[in-house]
Amino acid sequence: MSNSVSAIVAPWLTVIGIGEDGVAGLGDEAKRLIATAPVVFGGVRHIELAASLIQGDSEVWQSPFEKSVEAIVSRRGSPVVVLASGDPFLYGVGATLARRIDVAEMRTIPAPSAFSLAASRLGWALQEAATVSLHGRSLDLIRPQLQPGARIVALTSDENGPKALAELLSESGFGQSRLTVLEALGGGRERVSRHIAASFALEKAHSLNVCALEVFADAGARILPLAGGRDDALFEHDGQITKREVRALTLSALAPRKGELLWDIGAGSGSIAIEWMLADPAMRAIAIEASSERAARIGRNAACFGVPGLAVVEGQAPDALRGLTSPNAIFVGGGGSDPGVMEAAIAALCSGGRLVANAVTTAMEAVLLAHHARLGGSLIRIDIARASPVGTMTGWRPAMPVTQWSWVKP
């Protein structure tokens, strides 16, 4: 047997985290590497903070950012220093560069992240707080974290972020939440101020800020339960919605796994796709809906549930499925009896993927029975009755029964 020895690659790229204290917060090795680098890349602020050390060329990030990535990659083998904010691998440029450059070719000298600095100022155990970056991202992403008693540390985009966050809290029924704004952490302009969301009155925040939330829920606050099968009343819908009990069973059959992609065909209100995405921040989903009115409603629901990344495709299946990324799971909630829909879904599904289809009409049930007879899988009948007034007493009113077919593609 011959032995193969991997070539040892010397790191040529150094990524250095720098804080608001600039050069004063850097170690001797970081200072030496910056001073001897032929070229230093970074944002305008980073370059200014390290200006007294830089002897070579300085390159400010270009737009689009990919241009700078290409410029760095083109220098492979020659010493390059990249300056980043705090920890380069926490929502930072380090992770972006690592997608193109082997980690063996990189050396990283991190500084404390904004989250770490905020926790140290507050005396919070960081592992017990939720951390979320809203920098360049939708504020709606914080909504699933708004649980009574929760502590959240959120990085915002700019000086308007704290006020916008306070408004979101107040509008969602969390107006009594405590909001601490930590500005320019680690530098000479550091400032920490405490507020109640409903009476937030900070005139102007520093563009570099972190918001720490202690969540308090008012009566009627929009609290998103952590379990699947959330209340139908939380969704905006026109009656075209998979009801909560059936939805919980459907999501169980879909068996979400971290990072997977779901197609929700005939999405209606988008409830299945939304709850799929709420299972984990890494989940992805595409809602396919023929009605423009319902497609718009799905988008609104996605924002209100804190999953603005839900993709909505307006169109009629099976034509609307063409060109979409192959999914790990498919739910067929509407239009499954239309010609070619089930066949297109089965063909598109990844090997090992799960398909779940629900039927409330005899036409769709016949389609599911035929597919079950041909392909196997699991077939169940869901019958639910709800107690409601019958005169002066209470009786059971049955909902329409649902036939559900679940199948795993070989």
Quick one: DSSP state of residue 324? Answer: P
Q: How high is the pLDDT of residue 309?
A: 97
The share of the chain scoring above pLDDT 70, in percent, equals 98
Q: How high is the pLDDT of residue 2?
A: 42
Is residue 4 predicted with pLDDT exceeding 80? no
pLDDT in tens, 202-257: 988 999 999 999 999 999 999 999 999 999 999 999 998 999 999 999 999 999 99
Q: How high is the pLDDT of residue 7?
A: 52
Distance, in Å, from the CA atom of 35 to the CA atom of 56, rounded to the nearest integer, reads: 7
Write out the residue range of the structural domain in which residue 161 sits.
115-214
Angle between helices 292-304 and 271-278 (to 10 degrees): 30
Q: How high is the pLDDT of residue 262?
A: 98
Residues 372 and 335 in one domain: yes
> Tell me, what CATH number does 81's domain have?
3.40.1010.10
The whole-number average pLDDT for the span 386-392 is 93
221 domain-assigned: no
Q: How high is the pLDDT of residue 6?
A: 44
Closest CA to 138 of 167, 113, 161, 163: 161
Residues 268 and 382 in one domain: yes
220 domain-assigned: no
Residues 262 and 352 in one domain: yes
8 domain-assigned: no
Residues 199 and 91 in one domain: no
Q: Which of 76, 111, 146 is the last residue of a domain?
A: 111
> Tell me, what CATH number does 123's domain have?
3.30.950.10
Residues 359 and 400 in one domain: yes
pLDDT in tens, 263-276: 999 999 999 999 99
253 domain-assigned: yes
Residues 142 and 210 in one domain: yes
Q: How high is the pLDDT of residue 357?
A: 98
Q: How high is the pLDDT of residue 392?
A: 93
Is residue 165 predicted with pLDDT exceeding 70? yes
Distance, in Å, from the CA atom of 289 to the CA atom of 274, rounded to the nearest integer, reads: 14
Q: How high is the pLDDT of residue 3?
A: 45
The whole-number average pLDDT for the span 45-59 is 97
Quick one: DSSP state of residue 34? Answer: H
- Which is it for strands 329-332 and 354-359: parallel, antiparallel or unpaired? parallel
pLDDT in tens, 302-354: 999 999 999 999 999 999 999 999 999 999 998 899 999 999 999 999 999 99
Burial class, 148, CB count within 10 angstroms (exposed 0-12 / middle 13-18 / buried 19+): exposed
- The model's pTM is 0.91
Helix (H, G, I), strand (E, B), or coil: what is residue 320? Answer: helix
Number of domains in the chain: 3
> Tell me, what CATH number does 396's domain have?
3.40.50.150
Closest CA to 157 of 86, 205, 123, 99: 205
Residues 381 and 281 in one domain: yes
Local confidence band at 10 (pLDDT 50, 70, 90 cut-offs): confident
7 domain-assigned: no
Residues 326 and 185 in one domain: no
Residues 243 and 360 in one domain: yes
Q: How high is the pLDDT of residue 231?
A: 96
The whole-number average pLDDT for the span 63-91 is 96
The token pair that represents 61 in the structure block = 């990030």
CA distances from 246 to 107, 251, 266, 408 (A): 51, 9, 16, 20
Residues 106 and 140 in one domain: no
Quick one: DSSP state of residue 295? Answer: H
190 domain-assigned: yes
Residues 103 and 151 in one domain: no
Which residues does 83 contact at the CB level (< 8 Å), separation at least 6? 16, 18, 34, 40, 41, 42, 43, 46, 47, 49, 50
Instruction: Give the count of beta carbons closer than 10 Å to the beta carbon of residue 380.
Output: 11
The whole-number average pLDDT for the span 44-59 is 97
Is residue 1 predicted with pLDDT exceeding 50? no
Residues 17 and 53 in one domain: yes
